[in-house]
Structure 1
Amino acid sequence: MRAIEITQFGKPDVLQVCERPIPVPGTGEVLIRVRAAGVNRPDVLQRMGYYPVPTGASDLPGLEVAGEIVGGDLADAEFAIGDLVCALVQGGGYADYCVAPVVQCLPVPKGLSLIEAASLPETFFTVWSNVFDRAELSVGETLLVHGGTSGIGVAAIQIAKALGAKVFATAGSDVKCRAVEELGALRAINYRTEDFLEVVRAETAGKGVDVILDMVAGKYLARNIDSLADDGRLVVIALLGGAKAELDMSQVLRRRLHVTGSTLRPRSIEFKAGIARALRNRVWPLLENGRVKPIIYQVFPLSQAAKAHEMMEESQHIGKLVLEL
């Protein structure tokens, strides 16, 4: 099969087309003929040598795919040979074939293409796990999303609004801010020209927001803490602004704040299966009725994976980048 491999750690041009054996599914796994694969920032970090591959996972990049089940262990599964699915995988998505735990597969939502479906698993699993499971965002609460036009951001804004929350989001340009508000954010904040802390305080009459989904960490920590309402929850999912910062524990104690974080890739299959069930019950209906939509910025052929990574690093995109096979 064709695949994209990381020939050495480095710039996007280290991604090269190669031939690999078709992977063999094990117990509880299915073989998917990949038609599209999502591109995510963890792929970029893996290519640069900053995101180690978990033991037993494919060394090929790619954490989400959509395509046709062509083989594997389907005993007691709701799927059959020939079914179209999208799936969260531990790696190997940039290839003609990929194996996935059957419990991490979801049907392609009605009305969506395979390219659209491939843009869903990594971001939707991440958003659900962190915003709704860990932070327990509920109806009527307020959410601040940093990086509102990223794949994670566009998913978080739409799902939170559809489930009854009020959303604010940061973005790096006026064009991106308009896109964020079109997706459903009450107020977009241009972090290059505005202080998100001041805007949050003004928009919430000084109360602050209930939940913050943060990809920056580092330099944002102090202002994130100041932006939280009493009993607020800060969830960190990436460290684009640095791994270390000073935390004012007096605020954590006095205002009963929660500071947490997580990474999805190393979690167990059973843990991810639980997220898949929640998405199937709570979010897939929203996709099928159009209240939540995949936002695809650009589609690249598999052979242009390096160009997709270049665009990811430039951070000018709004929504998801997808490889088509």
Structure 2
Amino acid sequence: MPVEVRKVLIPSFGGPQKIQIVNSTLPDPAPNHVQVKVLYSGFSGADINMRIGVYPLQRKAPLTPGYCFVGTVHALGPQSTRFAVGDLVACLSIYDAEATYSNQLEKHLIPVPKGLDPKIATTLILDWNTAYGMLKGTDWKGKKVFVHGMSGAVGYALMTLCLLEGAQVYGTASARNHQTIRDLGATPFVYTDKLWITYMKQIGGAQGVFDALGFESWDESYDILSPSGGTLYGYGGNLGTLKGEKPRSVIWPTLKLLGRNLMFWSRKSTKFWWIDRDWSLFLPNTQEVFALALQDKLKISIKRVFELDDVATAHREWTSLTGMGSVLVHVS
């Protein structure tokens, strides 16, 4: 039978005042789909950009945001056999996570191992998985890396994983978090004074730079790569949002970012990174970060947990939240 649902709705693009909490009805899951009672949803820059209407290739409004979630199986659609009612599952949903119930293709659900806290699992499915995917396949031991936004969700995960691998970690973060970052073993800078550019050049540049800000920040990040070779990983496009500027599309800056690879003589390279639930590595990467968390090898940090009714507050306060790490929405 259809279930009653409470969910976040963006009826049209604009400011946080556009956010609504509405009651609706969700139909039974279709064939090969599973209906999940959502416990926690991730909250990130993707939510902000979708609300504004500038996230790449996003749906038109109206839409319900929520890029990932963890929840329990509530009902099975025809031909769905992998899970049982009550199983704890994770999903990179892209949409519809900020709802008490969500219908998802069975193939997109991942079992959450026993003993893994649902809140922790929610941070892993997107935030830590994104960081892990960027770092995987490269030996970072002893190398200099620079991470923008070490206080943020993916930035914090990148910093932690790089330190775990023995890298020398530098990056930008809010001044209020600098001592905590130093205690963890990284070297923080304030983004706005640009002293980080001078410092990184003085020490020979970085072998890896991770930049979720985009736009002109990618130009500056490219500039601090080591002349002997390094890679700039661009992901996201949050600079305009953080600065309160008029929304800008990230498409042209991304083309410019990738176009730098034509300068093969520079020994520098660029990549635009995103996470895709249909990639062959998505499932094994997710399982690997789950295993690392269960082995207590990751220092997971959750900055704030908002209730579903307070999602508009999350949008308003996103740039001023204190603490470090991931932001979650407690859905049901």
TM-score of Structure 1 vs Structure 2, range by shorter chain: 0.7 to 0.9
| Alignment partner of 1:297 is 2:298 | no
Q: Distance in 1 between matches of 2:261 and 2:154?
A: 31
Are residues 285 and 263 of structure 1, via their aligned partners in 2, closer, same or farther at CA, if it must alter by over 3 Å? closer
Q: Kindly, what percent of the aligned residue pairs are identical?
A: 23
**1:288 deviation in Å?**
1.1
The partner residue of 1:284 within 281, 290, 294 is 290
**1:117 deviation in Å?**
2.2
Corresponding residue for 2:220? 223
SS at match of 2:98: coil
CA contact under 8 A between 2:36 and 2:73: conserved in structure 1?
yes
CA contact under 8 A between 2:34 and 2:80: conserved in structure 1?
no
Are residues 213 and 137 of structure 1, via their aligned partners in 2, closer, same or farther at CA, if it must alter by over 3 Å? farther
Aligned-pair Cα RMSD in Å? 3.0
Q: Distance in 2 between matches of 1:166 and 1:58?
A: 44
Aligned length: 312
**1:320 deviation in Å?**
1.9
The partner residue of 2:273 within 262, 267, 274 is 262
SS at match of 1:32: strand
Q: Distance in 1 between matches of 2:163 and 2:33?
A: 34
**1:57 deviation in Å?**
11
Corresponding residue for 2:319? 313
**1:127 deviation in Å?**
1.8
Code of the aligned partner of 2:299:
K
Q: How does 1:12-31 map to 2 (within 5 A)?
A: 12-31=16-35
CA contact under 8 A between 1:137 and 1:211: conserved in structure 2?
no
Q: How does 1:75-86 map to 2 (within 5 A)?
A: 77=82, 79-86=83-90
**1:67 deviation in Å?**
1.2
CA contact under 8 A between 1:138 and 1:164: conserved in structure 2?
yes
Q: Distance in 2 between matches of 1:38 and 1:188?
A: 26
Q: Distance in 2 between matches of 1:179 and 1:102?
A: 41
Are residues 317 and 186 of structure 1, via their aligned partners in 2, closer, same or farther at CA, if it must alter by over 3 Å? closer
Are residues 201 and 114 of structure 1, via their aligned partners in 2, closer, same or farther at CA, if it must alter by over 3 Å? same
Q: Distance in 2 between matches of 1:296 and 1:11?
A: 25
CA contact under 8 A between 1:124 and 1:152: conserved in structure 2?
yes
CA contact under 8 A between 1:161 and 1:167: conserved in structure 2?
yes
Are residues 11 and 58 of structure 1, via their aligned partners in 2, closer, same or farther at CA, if it must alter by over 3 Å? closer
Instruction: Give unmatched runs, 5+ long, in structure 2.
Output: 241-249
- Of the structure 1 ranges 216-225 and 304-313, higher mean CA displacement relative to structure 2 is found in 216-225
Q: Distance in 2 between matches of 1:165 and 1:26?
A: 47
- Of the structure 1 ranges 14-23 and 145-154, higher mean CA displacement relative to structure 2 is found in 14-23
1:53-74, Cα deviation, whole Å (9 max, x unpaired): 6469992110111111123367
| Alignment partner of 1:10 is 2:14 | yes
TM-score normalised by structure 2 residue count: 0.81
SS at match of 2:311: helix
Corresponding residue for 2:243? none
Q: Distance in 1 between matches of 2:224 and 2:166?
A: 21
Q: Distance in 2 between matches of 1:131 and 1:20?
A: 41
The partner residue of 2:154 within 145, 152, 155 is 152
CA contact under 8 A between 2:41 and 2:69: conserved in structure 1?
yes
**1:103 deviation in Å?**
4.1
Code of the aligned partner of 2:295:
N
Are residues 57 and 260 of structure 1, via their aligned partners in 2, closer, same or farther at CA, if it must alter by over 3 Å? farther
1:89-146, Cα deviation, whole Å (9 max, x unpaired): 120011011233444433435544322322222212322333336xx45444332110
CA contact under 8 A between 1:43 and 1:62: conserved in structure 2?
yes
CA contact under 8 A between 2:13 and 2:61: conserved in structure 1?
no
| Alignment partner of 1:63 is 2:71 | no
**1:323 deviation in Å?**
1.4
SS at match of 2:25: coil
